[in-house]
Amino acid sequence: MHDEDYKRRYVFGADYGTSEFKYGPITQGERPLAVENRGYFPEKSVLSQIMGADHEVVVGKDVTLFLESGAELATRLVYPMREGIVMKDDARAWKVVKELTHYALEEFRPKGWGFNGFYVVAALSAVAPRYMYERLFEIFDSMAKEVGLVHSATIIPQPLSVAIAHKKTSCVVVESGHGNTQLAPISRAPIRGAVVALNRGGSDANAIMAEILKDAGYGDLAGEEALVRKVKESLGLLPADLDPAISFAKSNPEAVRAVYAVPGTRLKIELAENSWTRFLVGEYVFNPNHEIFQSYFKRGMPRPKDTKLGDVVFYGTMDVAEAIITAVEKCPVELQPLLYSQILLSGGNFSWKVPEKLKGICVDSTTKVKRMMTEKGIENVEVNMASEPQYSVWRGCIVYGYAVPAGYNWSWEKMEGWMNFYK
Amino acid sequence: MVLRTVLERALTNYMSKQGLRFEGGSMEEGVLRFVGNGFAYVVKVLDEMGGRPELISAALESAFWAAKGERAYILVPRNVASMDELMAIRLHGIGLLLHGTHGLEELPPMVKHIGKDETQTSVKYENASHVIERIEKLERFVQRINEIDTLVSRLERLEALYGKLSDRLLAFGDVRPSHVKTAVADKSNNSADTKTELPSFMKDNPWLDILAEKGPFNA
């Protein structure tokens, strides 16, 4: 079989997300498979060795079985990534990444003859340092040599993959995850020097929701992270403009009053006279610099700080519009208007509902960003929300692998092409 | 310490609640057999005296029974091994019944253990003639595989030849950088069925052209 035909048949996408690892070959269709990005290191014993179950690390669905054992989870359960990054010297984290990679590829190993390994397209965070690329290629090399599952591999940044999946050739991808937000300008390729990262994500919106719950008399529930997230998704609102929204809420308390009934319990959460605080949750994601948040910081809510992870600075309190402008202004001037006209928001952190009776007071994320950009003097802005954002990265990987010719070799200078492992 | 006879009584009661019938067993070896649901069940009973060495030999013995197509279980004191160690046995497709202060309890059965497919394909060595018959069948399969191997090597030689010819054509003819796009278009032109096979995110995707240009001739 000719290289190009072979490659198109065996393209395999692997999205290394912080919380979930999504994977599957081109034949998977519209959606990949997903497992939690974590591994369990079982206790070593003679018995395990004799029974042939002496894997150093267990990943995938089997992890759940081990969780039943109630063993010391804190030391045995390893989540390899933080903010999309695996630390260089974290040996156990890299073992999890390797085992997950093997697990995913093995699941789709074709039966019969003629298979010489997959063409793997892996997607990493836009802020992943070079050593992560090197270590991942080492893993693919071992997958080729030890188990014959990899023919060639390439690694692309996740925002590029999102842009590809949404058919946008020039755009700014704003990807907001649990712990951080990445802004990556793309113009037929990622503009690597222009990536901006924020040290803010869905977890920060949860933090302010917890404070609001405490103030409303639900202090006992504020520590339950999963519940707080549900309350945030149900009660949190994104105001078009915070001050007028608060004034409206205070003069029309019934209009903003809402109840969250915890499923399967008798518990009902109602913010009552504090219902105006529902607007703070959405606002905090987009702009934590409003003076109203100072009182929360003074009372102990952690203020998002500027941090450095590897070579990348994650800005703490920079607002979303400012971050977009900062990223775009790192690009050539003639490209900037085009980038402003194609802003693509991706991630659950941008999913804000607009209740019918609060139209005009509340907005969705695209309108909010557009308003914020206009306030900063940027016109002709077009903002879109990514559909099915959870699958975008994997889909982009499949398109990338399908299209990039098999004979195009990996270049460390350009950070693209195929690294060939099949001899 | 719970006496083995008490354990065996508790086990018999438990299994009968599961719809299984006691078939007999050896008190000396601590092995009890049950039947029901179309399967034979064999349970190795361990007491607290045996400890880990006895658990290891019970696990090996049970693995042997499982390989023969029987449903193997070990009845084990709750504190004889860690849950991770017990998991190692479960991963091997052996059921585990734990006994402790709260009586007798089954660890959730492994998928492998209760998988329908596996039980359907378990080999039952009923008699020697059946085994011989299967060996003969396997020999016929091996012969066919050899024939396929020969065909594969011929096909690989043809593929190599085809690859060389394609490379020469590319070198001499006009290089078409957007060959990937053409391949997609060709496919969709060939049949309506093929078009529907393309995922939505690939259809009319301008990146197919852009990425195809990254070929070795344009790098």
Domain ranges of chain A: 3-38+79-165+390-420, 197-385
Residue B127 confidence (pLDDT): 56
- Name all contacts of B5-11 with Cβ < 8 Å and 24+ positions apart: B7/B45, B7/B47, B7/B75, B7/B99, B8/B32, B8/B45, B10/B99, B10/B103, B10/B104, B11/B43, B11/B45, B11/B75, B11/B97, B11/B104
| Interface touch A51/B88, C-beta < 8 Å | yes
Architecture of domain A3-38+79-165+390-420 in this structure: 2-Layer Sandwich (3.30)
Assign A324 a pLDDT band (cuts: 50, 70, 90). very high
- What is the topology classification, in CATH, of domain B4-121? Trna Endonuclease; Chain: A, domain 1 (3.40.1350)
Percent of chain B with pLDDT over 70: 73
Residues of B in contact with A70 (CB under 8 A): 83
Query: Which pLDDT tens digit goes with each residue over B93-104?
Result: 788 888 887 788
Asked if pLDDT for residue B83 goes beyond 90, the answer is no
- Of the spans A186-195, A396-405, B54-63, which averages the highest pLDDT? A396-405
Q: What integer is the mean pLDDT of A99-105?
A: 96
- Nearest Cβ partner of B210 from A66, A169, A405? A169
Asked if pLDDT for residue A385 goes beyond 80, the answer is yes
Compare B167 and A136 and report the one with higher pLDDT: A136
- The C-alpha of B183 sits at a distance from chain A's nearest C-alpha, in angstroms, of 10
Residues of A in contact with B165 (CB under 8 A): none
What 3 state SS string does chain B have?
CCCHHHHHHHHHHHHHHCCCEEEEEECCCCEEEEEECCEEEEEEECCCCCHHHHHHHHHHHHHHHHHCCCEEEEEEECCCCCHHHHHHHHCCCCEEEEEECCEEEECCCCHHHHCHHHHHHCCCCCCHHHHHHHHHHHHHHHHHHHHHHHHHHHHHHHHHHHHHHHHHHHHHCCCCCCHHHHHHHHHHHHCHHHHHHCCCCCCCCCHHHHHHCCCCCCC
Query: Which pLDDT tens digit goes with each residue over A272-309?
Result: 889 999 999 999 999 999 999 999 999 889 888 898 87
Asked if pLDDT for residue A418 goes beyond 70, the answer is yes
| Interface touch B81/A47, C-beta < 8 Å | yes
Compare A52 and B18 and report the one with higher pLDDT: B18
| Interface touch B199/A29, C-beta < 8 Å | yes
- The C-alpha of B163 sits at a distance from chain A's nearest C-alpha, in angstroms, of 5
Assign B126 a pLDDT band (cuts: 50, 70, 90). very low
- The C-alpha of A94 sits at a distance from chain B's nearest C-alpha, in angstroms, of 22
CA dist A398 and A301 (Å) reads 42
Compare B124 and B204 and report the one with higher pLDDT: B204
Q: How high is the mean pLDDT of chain A?
A: 90
Question: Which range (A53-57, B92-96, B195-199) has the least confidence?
Answer: B195-199
Is residue A282 within a helix (H) or strand (E), and if so which, with residue range? Answer: helix A278-286
| Interface touch B206/A169, C-beta < 8 Å | yes
- Of the spans A195-199, A222-226, B57-61, which averages the highest pLDDT? A195-199
Assign B176 a pLDDT band (cuts: 50, 70, 90). very low
- The C-alpha of A29 sits at a distance from chain B's nearest C-alpha, in angstroms, of 6
Compare A358 and A62 and report the one with higher pLDDT: A358
Assign A312 a pLDDT band (cuts: 50, 70, 90). confident
Question: Which range (A53-62, A90-99, A385-394, B32-41) has the least confidence?
Answer: A53-62
Assign A77 a pLDDT band (cuts: 50, 70, 90). confident
Position of tokens 């301008």? B206
Asked if pLDDT for residue A146 goes beyond 70, the answer is yes
Compare B21 and A133 and report the one with higher pLDDT: A133
Residues of A in contact with B152 (CB under 8 A): 113-114
Residue B111 confidence (pLDDT): 39
Interface-testing mutation among B46, B57, B74, B91, with chain A (most A C-beta atoms within 10 A)? B91
Note whether B60 contacts A: Cβ–Cβ < 8 A: yes
Question: Which range (A37-51, A235-249, B21-35) has the least confidence?
Answer: A37-51
Note whether B214 contacts A: Cβ–Cβ < 8 A: yes
Query: Which pLDDT tens digit goes with each residue over A339-352?
Result: 999 999 998 889 89
Which class is domain A197-385? alpha beta
Assign B116 a pLDDT band (cuts: 50, 70, 90). very low
| Interface touch A409/B207, C-beta < 8 Å | no
